[in-house]
Structure 1
Amino acid sequence: MTEQPSTLYAKLLGETAPITWQELQPFFARGALLMVGATQDLIAVAQAVAENDQDEVAAWLASEQLKKIDDGDAADLLARDPPLWAVVVAPWVLVQERRS
């Protein structure tokens, strides 16, 4: 993307919205969901993914602060139905549990 980082951050922030697990299930079925760890800034992670910051994304993946949602995660989210935030960075949908 060619946008300035602060502009991209603001754009992604404006595209972030609350969502339910039920609404996300089709994206899970396609393998397009990434869970962002609770200690991470959802928008900063989305920005790094959008900008293809391979080093940062690889570090988050290695530490599981960013991970592809698997069957166990999906079952847990279905059972708990927690409040979630999501933002799309095609082809991914990044999801994070809302903090209380």
Structure 2
Amino acid sequence: MTEQPSTLSSNTLYAKLLEETAPITWQELQPFFARGALLMVEGTQDLIAVAQAVAENDQDKVSGWLASGQLKKIDDDCAADLLARDPALWAVVVAPWVLVQERVEQAA
């Protein structure tokens, strides 16, 4: 029974982050890029689950994603690519970071 409150807390955080996730343009993200505060989440990952791990300071998960490239700080090359393509992006803030993920529309 002692695990239930932490599970509820974890579920509540996930729901809160999900509510705070929104579509955004690269134009709107450029100030965060300039401050070095943008993290790109690989498209195969659950953006909210990654944000939750960052918020909860889950060092094992976050360091694993960083090591594998599934989570990375946006560099100049990536920024130039995003500027040129202007893809559909989703973002969520986990201060001091903004986590962003490119969204690919799936066929119905």
Q: TM-score w.r.t. structure 1 length?
A: 0.97
Match of 2:101 in 1: 96
Match of 1:10 in 2: 15
Match of 2:86 in 1: 81
Deviations 1:32-81 (A, max 9, x none): 00000010000000000000000000000000000000000000000000
| SS of residue matched to 1:4 | helix
Match of 1:28 in 2: 33
**Matches of 1:41 and 1:5, distance apart in 2:** 15
Deviation >2 Å, runs of 4+: none
**Matches of 1:5 and 1:63, distance apart in 2:** 25
Give unpaired runs (5+ residues) of structure 2.
1-5
Match of 1:41 in 2: 46
Q: Does 1:50 align with 2:55?
A: yes
Quick one: which amino acid aligns to residue 45 of structure 2? Q
Q: Does 1:59 align with 2:59?
A: no
| SS of residue matched to 1:93 | strand
Quick one: which amino acid aligns to residue 6 of structure 1? N
Q: TM-score w.r.t. structure 2 length?
A: 0.90
Q: Percent identity?
A: 83
Structure label with greater radius of gyration: 2
What is the number of residues matched between the two proteins?
99
Quick one: which amino acid aligns to residue 60 of structure 2? D
Q: CA deviation at 1:99?
A: 2.2
